[in-house]
Amino acid sequence: MTADETKLYQQLRAGSETALAQVIGHFGPVVYALTKKVLGPAAEADVEECVSETFWRVWQRIDQYDPNRSTLRTFILMHAKYAALDGRRYSRRSRDKDPCFLPQAAPPMVDTEERQRVQHALDSLSTLDKKIIYLRYYLDQSIKVIAKEMELSESAVETRLWRSRQKLRVLLDESEERGLVT
């Protein structure tokens, strides 16, 4: 974490609204882009609402952030993803008519070593395959949407995903056996 991020984090913990504004200014563009990507075709106001929800969650849950496990940016993006997925689900269900569908919580993050191990495996993929994996598993895009964006056939996307998964499995199993930490 950079010195600036550390400072922002400490100020957020102290409840500083100025720090909140700085966080929005600093991370807003990437959160906005990610939210828009997950929401797909959505009204501008809905995207903004979702981005605001993200920062509100960050503000509320800053105590859960552990600087030893991830960067502040990762923490914020994780909340952005889940806020956007919740937003997408709400809009699909229309409609808030069933209060049973509560927002999903972001899963607890695993430790840094494990993250590095997986990141290392992901880095071994080609840029295209990595992008497809990210779009599919992190941004929850449908095969159809990915195929359109990457200008590939749906079948090609499926096949690439399948090969990438096989490769990741092998790499993760190997690194688990060797206790590899990069």
Partner 1 sequence: MKKDSIRQTLESLGIPDDLPDVVLEPSTEWSRARARRIENMTRKRARKGLSVANRTKVLTLAIFLVFLAVVGYGAASAGWQQILTYIPGFGIRPMEEEARVLAQPLSVEEDGWLLQVSGVHATAANTTVNLRMRPPEGHRLAPNDKRVSDRLVHRPTLMVEGMTLEPNSLSMAFGQEWVARIDFPPLPSDAYTVQLTIPEELGRHWNVEMALEVAKAEDVFWHSHMLADIPVAVGTLVTDQEVVVTVQVRLSDTPALTQLGFSSLGFSECRQENMSNPPDVHPSVERRELALPVRLLVGEERIVPRWCEGYVQGDVRYLEYRFALDGEAAVELVLEVPALVMVEPLSTQFIVPVAASGSIQLDKSVSWGDHTLILTHSERREKSVRIYLEQPDDAAYPLVELDIKTLSPPEVTGSSYTTDRETGRVMFLELPIDDPVQEVRLQLSRPHWLVEERYRIELAR
Site for partner 1 in 24-53 (CB under 8 A): 24-25, 28-30, 32-34, 36-37, 48-49, 51-53
Q: Is 120 in the site for partner 1 (CB under 8 A)?
A: no
Measured from the CB atom, the residue of 7 and 17 that comes closer to partner 1 is 17
The CB density around residue 121, as the number of other CB atoms within 10 Å, is 21
Long-range CB contacts (within 8 A, 24+) of 29-36: 30/73, 30/77, 31/55, 31/76, 31/77, 31/80, 34/77, 34/80, 34/81, 34/84, 34/139, 35/80, 35/83, 35/84, 35/87
Residues 79-98 that bind partner 1 (CB under 8 A): 81, 86-87, 89-90, 93, 96, 98
What minimum distance in Å lies between the beta carbon of 63 and partner 1? Answer: 14
# of chain residues touching partner 1 (CB under 8 A): 76
Q: How far is CA 57 from CA 6, 145, 170, in A?
A: 19, 28, 36
Q: Are 50 and 35 in contact (CB under 8 A)?
A: yes
Residues 52-81 that bind partner 1 (CB under 8 A): 52-53, 55-57, 59-60, 70-71, 73-75, 77-78, 81
Q: Is 179 in the site for partner 1 (CB under 8 A)?
A: no
The binding track of 122-151 with respect to partner 1, each residue x by CB under 8 A or -, is: x----x--xx-xxxxxxx---x--------
